[in-house]
């Protein structure tokens, strides 16, 4: 498949042809979400936000600007982000007395307000989310959807009474993201980042790294336990039942919408174009009448009847009645947009009151009775999602390769463009050498399962402490 041979070109063609994104906007790293891409984003958000609501999070909207002094309050945080923030320094030709920055992430926008809102233990837990764009001046080459200077995400921020409650929250967040990714059929590794790569200001960071056809991993979500670091910096305290004042313990997590769209395209699509999981497809079913002169009237009327029935079931359906394209051209067109199920309605279907269903994945067809169409389509949706998930999982399995020595490490990551699994002693010197010889990064060790090293450190030969995954990354 072309996507495994020339990923960039294949990917750019799909996002252009399927109206996902137009990267020709005249500011580098900024792009326009077009109709198909933005509808997919909205459908993903609907699944995510509903799950956040169900688990006691509340939506809010904080300003995009952050004052310099708030940004500078947590020392690790400012160190991590200062090189990539956009500053606002002027209004007209007057210089602002207080410089402002565009949020690169919203801890320092939210937490001064948290300090005002949280008074007693009764105010906790506080669980807030927002779906917004954030701004980071990426210095590496920008890539549409993968690495942009303005990108869409959903970020959640929580405050708790104790470390244990924050730990529970971390697990809840991982559960929420896993649930959404499952409905998208995505495959990824859940990794605890090494300390040198954790979020600036966090105690530790967990990340979801999705596989990509070019061997680079794509971080689609992160979950951080912030401990009391920000509570101390922003003086976020509560009065406990015993009358004592204590720092809150915080978590935050980010769901990268732009990158999730990239992962859906990269993992599922093929040489015909986009393939979409049914839950997020802007159009889930397209009906294409197959018309011949003698029967056109009857077939059109029947297609309309099929359309009304499917539509009234709540499925997002479109009846393609355009006259300037042949049925074959219509098939090709909607395949490119990744519509999961095509319904063909021809003279024979009309005579026998059947419909012909064709799946976008694999393009298999089956004929079902009109009365059974809606049930059959829903079954196909489940089947499609299962197939996407299985296919994606098997690629991930194939992509992870054990490296036994430095030579094989370099071969796996550089030459074969895969994810290497290696034993590491946790020393920074060996991490540097792993980076040098592979051209990739230590992405971390598995969070969801425990893997015990069965070999010495791949670099120094001393006892290994962790089994880690090494890959190049977006």
Please report, as ranges, the residues that interact with Zn ion according to CB under 5 A. 425, 430, 457, 459-460
Instruction: Write down the least CB distance from residue 261 to Zn ion, Å.
Output: 38
Residue number, 134 or 425, with CB nearest to Zn ion: 425
Residue closer to Zn ion by CB (options 166, 459) is: 459
Residue 128 or residue 457: which is nearer to Zn ion going by CB? 457
Least Cβ distance, residue 279 to Zn ion (angstroms): 44
Strand partners, 257: none
Cβ(219)–Cβ(473) below 8 Å: yes
Query: Which is closer to Zn ion, CB of 396 or CB of 460?
Result: 460
Which one, 248 or 403, has the nearer CB to Zn ion? 403
> In the complex with Zn ion, which residue's Cβ is closer, 213 or 453?
453
If we measure between CA atoms, which residue out of 185, 216, 421 comes closest to residue 281? 185
Nearer to Zn ion, 166 or 468 (CB): 468
In angstroms and rounded to an integer, the radius of gyration of the C-alpha atoms of the chain is 25
Say if strands 249-256 and 245-247 run parallel, antiparallel, or are unpaired.
unpaired
Nearer to Zn ion, 167 or 402 (CB): 402
Tally Cβ neighbours within 10 Å of residue 270.
Answer: 17
Smallest distance from Zn ion to CB 445, Å: 14
Residue recorded with tokens 């947590």 = 74
- What are residue 402's phi and psi, to 5 degrees? -70, 130
Helix 35-54 to helix 163-183 angle, to the nearest 10 degrees? 140
Check if the beta carbon of residue 398 is closer than 8 Å to that of residue 412: no
295 or 406: whose CB is closer to Zn ion?
406
Nearer to Zn ion, 353 or 435 (CB): 435
Closer residue to Zn ion in complex, CB, 324/454? 454
Between 179 and 196, name the residue whose CB sits nearer to Zn ion: 196
Shortest distance, CB of residue 456 to Zn ion, whole angstroms? 8
The least CB distance from residue 462 to Zn ion, in Å, is 5
Q: How far is the CB of 424 from Zn ion (least distance, A)?
A: 6
d(CA 70, CA 149): 22
């Amino acid at each position: 498949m072309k996507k495994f041979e020339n990923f960039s070109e294949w990917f750019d063609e799909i996002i252009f042809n399927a109206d996902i994104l137009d990267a020709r906007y005249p500011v580098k790293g900024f792009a326009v979400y077009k109709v198909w891409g933005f509808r997919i984003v909205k459908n993903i958000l609907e699944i995510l936000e509903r799950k956040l609501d169900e688990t006691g999070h509340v939506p809010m909207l904080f300003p995009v600007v952050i004052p310099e002094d708030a940004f500078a309050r947590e020392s690790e945080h400012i160190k991590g982000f200062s090189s990539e923030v956009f500053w606002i320094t002027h209004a007209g030709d007057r210089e602002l007395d207080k410089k402002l920055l565009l949020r690169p992430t919203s801890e320092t926008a939210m937490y001064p307000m948290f300090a005002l809102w949280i008074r007693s233990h009764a105010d906790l837990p506080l669980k807030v989310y927002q779906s917004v764009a954030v701004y980071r001046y990426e210095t590496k080459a920008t890539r549409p959807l993968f690495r942009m200077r303005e990108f869409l995400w959903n970020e959640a921020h929580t405050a708790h009474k104790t470390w244990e409650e924050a730990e529970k929250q971390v697990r809840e967040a991982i559960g929420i993201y896993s649930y959404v990714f499952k409905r998208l059929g995505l495959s990824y590794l859940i990794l605890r980042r090494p300390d040198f790569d954790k979020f600036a200001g966090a105690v530790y960071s967990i990340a979801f790294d999705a596989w990509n056809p070019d061997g680079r991993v794509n971080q689609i979500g992160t979950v951080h336990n912030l401990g009391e670091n920000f509570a101390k910096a922003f003086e976020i305290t509560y009065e406990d039942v015993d009358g004592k004042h204590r720092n809150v313990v915080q978590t935050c997590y980010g769901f990268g919408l732009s990158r999730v769209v990239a992962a859906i395209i990269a993992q599922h699509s093929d040489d015909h174009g986009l393939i979409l999981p049914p839950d997020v497809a802007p159009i889930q079913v397209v009906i294409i009448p197959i018309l011949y002169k003698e029967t056109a009237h009857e077939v059109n009327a029947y297609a309309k009847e099929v359309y009304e029935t499917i539509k009234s079931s709540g499925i997002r359906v479109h009846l393609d009645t355009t006259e300037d394209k042949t049925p074959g051209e219509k098939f090709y067109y909607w395949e490119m947009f990744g519509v999961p199920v095509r319904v063909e309605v021809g003279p024979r279907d009309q005579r026998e009151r059947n419909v012909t269903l064709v799946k976008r994945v694999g393009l298999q067809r089956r004929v079902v009775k009109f009365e059974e169409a809606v049930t059959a389509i829903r079954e196909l949706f489940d089947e499609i999602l299962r197939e996407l998930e299985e296919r994606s999982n098997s690629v991930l399995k194939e992509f992870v390769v054990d490296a036994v020595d430095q030579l094989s490490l370099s071969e796996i990551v550089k030459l074969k463009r895969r994810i290497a699994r290696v034993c590491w002693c946790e020393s920074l010197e060996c991490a540097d050498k792993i980076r040098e010889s592979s051209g990739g990064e230590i992405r971390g060790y598995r969070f969801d399962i425990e893997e015990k090293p069965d070999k010495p450190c791949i670099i120094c030969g001393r006892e290994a402490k962790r089994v880690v995954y090494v890959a190049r990354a977006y």
